[in-house]
Amino acid sequence: MSEARLARAGGDLRHERADGVAVVKQFVTAAPLISTHDAYERWAPTYPPVAHNPLMRAEQDAMIRLWPDVAGLRSLDLACGTGRYAKLLADSNASQVVALDFSAAMLSHVGMVHRVRASMLELPFAAGSFHVIVSGLAAGHAPDIHRWMAEIARVLKPGGVLLYSDFHPEAARAGHSRKFTDEHQRSYAVPHHNHSVVAQRQAAAAAGLNIEAVEELRAGHELCEAFPQSEAFYRRWSGWPFVLVVRARKASA
State yes or no: residue 40 binds ligand SAM (CB under 6 A). Answer: yes
Instruction: Kindly tell me which of 84 and 176 has the beta carbon lying closer to ligand SAM.
Output: 84
Q: Which of 81, 88, 35 is nearest to 66 (CA)?
A: 88
Residues between 132 and 161 with contacts to ligand SAM, criterion CB under 6 A: 136-138, 141
Instruction: Kindly tell me which of 94 and 106 has the beta carbon lying closer to ligand SAM.
Output: 106
- The crossing angle, in degrees rounded to 10, of helices 145-155 and 197-207 is 40
State yes or no: residue 66 binds ligand SAM (CB under 6 A). Answer: no
Burial class of residue 127, CB neighbours in 10 A (0-12, 13-18, 19+): exposed
Rule CB under 6 A: choose which of 24, 58, 62, 120 binds ligand SAM.
120
Q: Which of 131, 138, 149, 125 is nearest to 208 (CA)?
A: 149
State yes or no: residue 101 binds ligand SAM (CB under 6 A). Answer: yes
State yes or no: residue 67 binds ligand SAM (CB under 6 A). Answer: no
Q: How far is the CB of 232 from ligand SAM (least distance, A)?
A: 25
State yes or no: residue 81 binds ligand SAM (CB under 6 A). Answer: yes
Stretch that binds ligand SAM, among 119-127, 204-212, 225-233, 244-252 (CB under 6 A): 119-127
* Residue type present at position 117: R
Q: Which of 103, 76, 92, 82 is nearest to 164 (CA)?
A: 76
Q: Cα–Cα distances in Å, from 98 out to 17, 142, 228? A: 28, 20, 37
Residues lying near ligand SAM in the complex (CB under 6 A) are found at 36, 40, 79-81, 84-85, 101-103, 106, 119-121, 136-138, 141
